[in-house]
Amino acid sequence: MIVRIAVTGAAGRMGKTLIEAVGLAEGAALSAAIERPESSLVGSDAGELAGVGKLGVIIAGDINAVINDFDVLIDFTAPAATVANAKACAAAGKKMIIGTTGCSEDDLAQIHGAAVTTGICMASNFSTGVNATFKLLNMAAQILGHDYDVEIVETHHRHKVDAPSGTALSMGEAVAAGLGQKLSDVAVYAREGQVGPRTKDEIGFATVRGGDVVGDHTVMFLADGERVEITHKASSRMSFARGAARAAVWLAAQPAGMYDMQDVLGLK
């Protein structure tokens, strides 16, 4: 069975990459593409816009105009749009892949509410390599324990609007879980001035923004006399897009509920 996939935010950098990735994915086909209603690209061929040739899929300006044309929606847009799309998908019985970051607690509550009636897979990062890294970080934290200080450094392109990245936060959560902690209790997101010495259990975050960096993340476990570093570097958005397309095909066969990329990869 071919899973019909829609991509929203189709004219953006990630949207174009997702369109290409869906075309390369086994068992998937692009059947709809969506942009903001005011976009001048509404009415364009999605394949031509993405540089993969004419596909005959015309970009719509409203999800409701194509709600019957897909099985799974892939959304890497912005929190407000993602929440609205989740509600539309839930009402129509359509499934959804969410790669949007920067969601508030209220946004997440509404997305989880939509997952009561449809399948939603949401992850801070859909790269297979990054999700393997999450598993490695959890294991490292369990092995190294509280004798090591933990610091997380992430770098992204100048256009990224949220900080720290969702991936960095997920890395922190993986480490904290391995240490038997909650990230919200130990995270330190800023240091400036006379902040005093580092406390024993804190997990520190440092954010760098500039250029066209797709995404670099390094987690450091530091102790007297040695340092362990686990790093993931993304050189192309295609790594995220391939994972999202893979997740969409997997999700099409799942019942209603909330999933993440660890479920898709069988890492739980």
3-state secondary structure 12-23: CHHHHHHHHHHH
> Taking the CB of residue 209, how many other CB atoms lie within 10 A of it?
15
**Token pair 């593409």 is at which residue?**
33
What are the angstrom distances between the C-alpha of 1 and each of 62, 69, 246, 250, 264?
27, 15, 14, 12, 18
End-to-end CA distance of the chain: 27
Residue 268 pLDDT: 80
Question: 51: alpha, beta or left, given left = phi > 0 and alpha = psi -120 to 50?
Answer: left
To the nearest whole percent, how much of the chain has pLDDT over 70? 100
Instruction: Calculate the average pLDDT of the chain.
Output: 96
Residue 98 pLDDT: 98
131-153 pLDDT tens trace: 999 999 999 999 999 999 999 99
What are the angstrom distances between the C-alpha of 251 and each of 35, 164, 261?
23, 28, 10
Cβ-contact 33, 55 below 8 angstroms: no
154-172 pLDDT tens trace: 999 999 999 999 999 999 9
Question: Mean pLDDT, to the nearest integer, of 70-89?
Answer: 98
Residue 102 pLDDT: 87
97-119 pLDDT tens trace: 999 988 999 999 999 999 999 99
* Domains with residue ranges and CATH for the chain: 3-122+237-264 (3.40.50.720), 128-234 (3.30.360.10)
Reported as half-sphere exposure (CB side, CA atoms, 13 A), residue 202 has a value of 11
To the nearest whole percent, how much of the chain has pLDDT over 90? 96
pTM for the model stands at: 0.85
Cα dihedral 240→9→215→164 (10° resolution): -120
Catalytic residues: 156, 160
Reported as half-sphere exposure (CB side, CA atoms, 13 A), residue 190 has a value of 3
Residue 181 pLDDT: 97
33-48 pLDDT tens trace: 999 999 999 999 999 9
Residue 241 pLDDT: 97
Model confidence at 1: pLDDT above 90? no
Model confidence at 232: pLDDT above 90? yes
